[in-house]
Amino acid sequence: MIVTIDGVAASGKSSVSSGVARALGIPYVSSGLLYRAATLLGLEAGVDLHDAPALLALLDNHAPRLEPLAEGNRVWSGTRELTDALHSSRVDAGVSVVAVLPELRAWVDAQLRALPEPFVAEGRDMGTNVFPHAGAKFYLTASPRIRAERRARERPEDIPAIEAALVRRDAKDQVQSAPAPDAQVIDTGPLTLEGVIGVILEGLGE
């Protein structure tokens, strides 16, 4: 059984997915971390982030892999843990460039489809492209201001700057970010984290 939770940047997907996964007693899979890992490796190697063959060569060499745990996903490259370095503003700013490359999307999709079920898959296109036959699909939204306010609690930046960066990333991610026609769309704006998790568990009949 696969449950997909897609949504816009900073809509709370990871926290919600983690909560739902814990309630169900299964892992969650954060697909964005693989795009972030490719971006980080590209930035560290000084590779042009538009250069798909160069990025794929790096991925071949470093073979980053996702460890999907219910408490939080980790990413490894050999024995080096990349997780903490994946949420910098530099990676945020570059990741949408990498995520539009079809070759990179194919690489991420292959990693995800190789994971053993069951799990909760979180991202942009989990319910549309990667797992179209998922048992249940959800899509999270919230206004840019609310998302910026939430993110400001995690990062030492001011709300208008975060909001502007989110709006830029939304525009770049638009193509791969449409909700699946059979997804339940949830506006998380008026809800707490527990509230969103509750709506999803109810949707799953839990």
Provide the binding-site residues for ligand C5P, judged by CB under 6 A.
Answer: 9, 13, 31-32, 35-36, 95-96, 99, 123-126, 169, 173, 176
The CB-of-82 to ligand C5P minimum distance in angstroms stands at 13
Which residues touch 87 (CB under 8 Å, ≥6 apart)?
Answer: 36
The CB-of-76 to ligand C5P minimum distance in angstroms stands at 17
Please give the structure tokens belonging to residue 87: 């949420």
The CB-of-99 to ligand C5P minimum distance in angstroms stands at 3
Query: CA-to-CA distance for 45 and 124, rounded, in angstroms?
Result: 26
Q: Which is nearer to ligand C5P, 44 or 202 (CB)?
A: 44
Q: Which is nearer to ligand C5P, 124 or 137 (CB)?
A: 124
Q: Which is nearer to ligand C5P, 15 or 77 (CB)?
A: 15
Say how many Å lie between the first and final Cα of the chain, rounded. 14
Reduced to 3 states, what is the DSSP secondary structure of residue 114?
coil
Query: CA-to-CA distance for 14 and 92, rounded, in angstroms?
Result: 15
Q: Which is nearer to ligand C5P, 24 or 38 (CB)?
A: 38
